[in-house]
Structure 1
Amino acid sequence: MSDVILRDIRLPETKELTDILVSEGRIADIGTGLTTDAPEMPANGALLTTGFVESHIHLDKACILDRCHNESGTLEGAIASVSQAKESFDEEDVHARGKQVIERAIVQGTNAMRTHVEIDPGIGLAGFEAVRRLKSDFAWALDLQICVFPQEGLTNLPGTIELLEQALSNGADLLGGCPYTDPDPNAQIRILFETARRFDVDLDFHLDFDLDPGWRHLDEIVRQTIAFGWQHRVAVGHVTKLSVLPRKELKETAAMMKDAGIALTVLPSTDLFLMGRGCDHLVPRGVAPAHVFHQHDVCCTVATNNVLNPFTPYGDCSLTRMANLYANVHQLSTEAELQSCFEMVTSSPGRLINRVRKIAVGEEATFVALPVASGGQAIAEIARPVWGMKRGRMSFEQPRARIFAP
């Protein structure tokens, strides 16, 4: 691992240009006009960030549009079509498709990721074993955290909890849930909290995936979080019901989640695609207003969820694009608002998955360079990173496009 000095790099806090000396995988010095024998790498004023963090993605069921489709476009249709497709999944198949997604994510500047992996008696541990291999295969470029969960229910599928426990014993990092597919949602929530306490792992739930504000599982999650003392160890994803709450109820919910230390992850592409299918005009967006919760000090993240499958038939793994989509949906445009969107794909998900990084002397030299002057500009312009480094080693590079005028 060779030393290198980055010349004229822009630091995110001050926006000023400086030099950074990288030695033995760490930041050895920061300052202007650094003198060293190390080779130089001109940064040309690029903004340095610790990298994008994908807080919610499904590697095991990505890139399967060639074998299944969601004809109805509904959540139920997506679950049913993927359930049928899973019958043909095996470890090598999941590994190959997951590899495609990770490689795309790396060149988009993602260097940390939490992936959800389905566990049930049908698929067994094949998907988990494939993703565990991917975690090892790509450790040079990306930190991969594995969340195992029961997509199609827990109390209705005997043997599922035993498989989840086996995965946790064999290297899974945390436990997920999906109460809305279970005939006894509250029992699933309770069982998962009990299991998380036994294995001392965090929890991440797919939650309340509809637009009916008359009922929700969020309140039970909050109650169990406090009862089990699991504050700041629980995340909830989707929670599309939040998109239809009046502002007063929204603020009350934000305060409740803050007090319980529960994080919120929003998946704009999937939620836009699946929600509001019963409306033929004034179609609701169905995307929870994470920026409101962010303003109330709830840990909030924006993430990809699915790539090229019946839940989301799109995706290039760009988190600047996903944050830009979120900003469009919620009509955010000021520098402060766009900066908060940048934080929801960088520092906030870093906190959520316990991968907090800093640009400071002595810290790990893991970061990404963006051809912009600020995080807000990166979101507004859907900036593509120009290079990335993991522990002092270059992980990818993509030179800027060139125009050949006549």
Structure 2
Amino acid sequence: MSGFLIRQVRVAGSEGLVDVAVRDGAIAEIGPGLSAPGEEIDGAGALLIPGFVESHIHLDKACILDRCRNETGTLEGAIASVVQAKAGFTEADVYARGKGVLEKAIVQGTNALRTHVEIDPVIGLKGFEAVLRLKRDFAWALDLQMCVFPQDGLTNLAGTRELLEQALDMGADLLGGCPYTDADPQAQIRILFEMARAHDVDLDFHLDFDLDPSWRHLDEIARQTIAFGWQGRVAIGHVTKLSALPPDDLAQAIGLMREAGVALTVLPATDLFLMGRGSDHLVPRGVAPAHLFHAQGVCCTVATNNVLNPFTPYGDLSLPRMANLYANVHQLSTKAELEACFDMVTDAPRRLIDMARRIAVGEEATFVALPATSGGQVVAEIVRPLWGMKRGRMTFEQAPARLFAP
């Protein structure tokens, strides 16, 4: 379609239903009662958004329950079982599994993702090269950002740093970290900040993934962020320790992250599955209260993390479902609270991955249509999208359910 008109949709910042005119892949006009030559699409009152954003997922180790299981259900069990399975990964295998995940994500209305890719002497660059191909092959439907990181340690695995450097030279977008698996966590943090500065890339750490509030790596991340001048360029994921902090300590953590400009990503499905395994009653949830950080101006996102593997043995790639799960865990129900949950799977992660997009004249015609009147409704009802497009080209469509009453 070179030019067409979408009739009767809801757009943020516009009163009531409006039409959206698209020409040459960009938004040409927005307003009620537009007239334009070319095809017309009946928006049917749908809510039009730039799309859902997956800020933290692992494409390279998705869908591997057929070859490994987490018998203990713990974080340590998940890591150990994936280490064994990873030795048998091939580039073709990673590509095929990642392809299936991306196809499901597209139909769920996700058109931008940040995927973490493991780099170490065992897997080498096979997983990275597969994801690099996926990035190219799926550019028609989504923007894929690659974060390479040392899941099993950096200082304790000779050759890992060199492989990370090679991946960055080959097109990786940013660096990740996992200090809690390293023989020298502080050294890993320092080395990754040095590498990030040398390559001018952002950082995204797996951090503080347990429920012991007596120690944490958050403080060192914040200190190094300020020391390196990397405010606004660092994210931390999981950070389950935050769920175990009393109010005063939590307020201190919020202030620390706000001052350092560090973003927070919460992975509710994985965190619920792995945390609290040592408790036999009153089992802790282990999900960081991102909404409290969000309310204080910290960039916060809710994401999927893993799909059908020992870290998370389920998942359908629906970010509205993940936001709904988060709202359930933290007992959120007001209009403002549900809208905040919606923001954490749309606008906030888009800011995090630096792919800002809005529905406005002159912007690219990339959006998703939802049968809803508000973001809060999308979260509360786990609304499935109707269709989506990227740069004016349809990427998916699914028919709404039909009832056949007698």
Task: Tell me what 2:229 maps to.
Answer: 229
Instruction: Identify unmatched segments of 5+ residues in structure 2.
Output: none
Determine whether 1:383 maps to 2:377.
no
Task: Tell me what 2:396 maps to.
Answer: 396
Q: Aligned partners of 2:175 and 2:62: how far apart in 1?
A: 20
Q: Aligned partners of 1:286 and 1:337: how far apart in 2?
A: 20
Deviation readout 1:265-316 (Å, 9 max, x if unpaired): 0000000000000000000000000000000000000000000000000100
Whether the aligned pair in 1 keeps the contact of 2:155 and 2:183 (CA below 8 Å) is: yes
The total of aligned residue pairs comes to 406
Aligned amino acid, residue 350 of structure 1: R
Q: Aligned partners of 1:201 and 1:22: how far apart in 2?
A: 34
CA, structure 1 residues 175+151, in 2 after alignment: closer, same or farther (shift >3 Å)? same
Q: How does 1:171-320 map to 2 (within 5 A)?
A: 171-320=171-320
Deviation readout 1:329-358 (Å, 9 max, x if unpaired): 000000100000000000000000001101
Aligned amino acid, residue 318 of structure 1: S
Determine whether 1:357 maps to 2:351.
no
TM-score of the two chains, using structure 1 as the length reference = 0.99
Q: Aligned partners of 1:360 and 1:221: how far apart in 2?
A: 37
Task: Tell me what 1:81 maps to.
Answer: 81
Q: Aligned partners of 1:15 and 1:128: how far apart in 2?
A: 45
Q: Aligned partners of 1:31 and 1:117: how far apart in 2?
A: 43
3-state SS in 1 of match to 2:157 = coil
Relative to structure 2, which stretch is displaced further, 144-153 or 252-261? 252-261
Q: Aligned partners of 2:38 and 2:292: how far apart in 1?
A: 46
Task: Tell me what 2:58 maps to.
Answer: 58
Aligned amino acid, residue 84 of structure 2: Q
3-state SS in 2 of match to 1:145 = strand
Q: Aligned partners of 2:296 and 2:15: how far apart in 1?
A: 26
Aligned amino acid, residue 230 of structure 1: W
Q: CA deviation at 1:247?
A: 1.5
Deviation readout 1:98-128 (Å, 9 max, x if unpaired): 0000000000000000000000000000000
Task: Tell me what 2:98 maps to.
Answer: 98
Aligned amino acid, residue 362 of structure 2: G
Root mean square deviation of aligned Cα: 0.6
The percent of aligned pairs where both chains have the same amino acid is 74
TM-score of the two chains, using structure 2 as the length reference = 0.99
Q: Aligned partners of 1:48 and 1:298: how far apart in 2?
A: 26
Relative to structure 2, which stretch is displaced further, 244-253 or 173-182? 244-253
Q: CA deviation at 1:252?
A: 1.5
Q: Aligned partners of 2:188 and 2:15: how far apart in 1?
A: 47
Whether the aligned pair in 2 keeps the contact of 1:21 and 1:28 (CA below 8 Å) is: yes
Determine whether 1:31 maps to 2:31.
yes
3-state SS in 1 of match to 2:87 = helix
Aligned amino acid, residue 135 of structure 1: K
Whether the aligned pair in 2 keeps the contact of 1:15 and 1:373 (CA below 8 Å) is: no
Aligned amino acid, residue 356 of structure 2: V
Q: How does 1:362-377 map to 2 (within 5 A)?
A: 362-377=362-377
Whether the aligned pair in 2 keeps the contact of 1:12 and 1:374 (CA below 8 Å) is: no
Q: CA deviation at 1:2?
A: 2.2
Aligned amino acid, residue 395 of structure 2: S
3-state SS in 2 of match to 1:117 = strand
Q: Aligned partners of 1:295 and 1:161: how far apart in 2?
A: 37
Q: CA deviation at 1:15?
A: 5.6
Deviation readout 1:337-390 (Å, 9 max, x if unpaired): 000000000000000000110111000100000000000000000000000010
Aligned amino acid, residue 393 of structure 1: R
Aligned amino acid, residue 100 of structure 1: G
3-state SS in 2 of match to 1:337 = helix
Q: CA deviation at 1:96?
A: 0.1
Q: Aligned partners of 1:53 and 1:241: how far apart in 2?
A: 25
Q: CA deviation at 1:236?
A: 0.1
Aligned amino acid, residue 197 of structure 1: R
Q: Aligned partners of 2:146 and 2:15: how far apart in 1?
A: 35
Task: Tell me what 1:346 maps to.
Answer: 346
Deviation readout 1:4-62 (Å, 9 max, x if unpaired): 10000111234620000011000000111111112110000000111000000000000
Whether the aligned pair in 2 keeps the contact of 1:15 and 1:374 (CA below 8 Å) is: no
- Runs of 4+ aligned residues of structure 1 deviating over 4 Å after TM superposition are none
Q: Aligned partners of 2:160 and 2:76: how far apart in 1?
A: 21
Aligned amino acid, residue 337 of structure 1: E
Whether the aligned pair in 1 keeps the contact of 2:4 and 2:36 (CA below 8 Å) is: no
Q: Aligned partners of 1:93 and 1:15: how far apart in 2?
A: 49
Whether the aligned pair in 2 keeps the contact of 1:54 and 1:319 (CA below 8 Å) is: yes
Aligned amino acid, residue 316 of structure 2: D
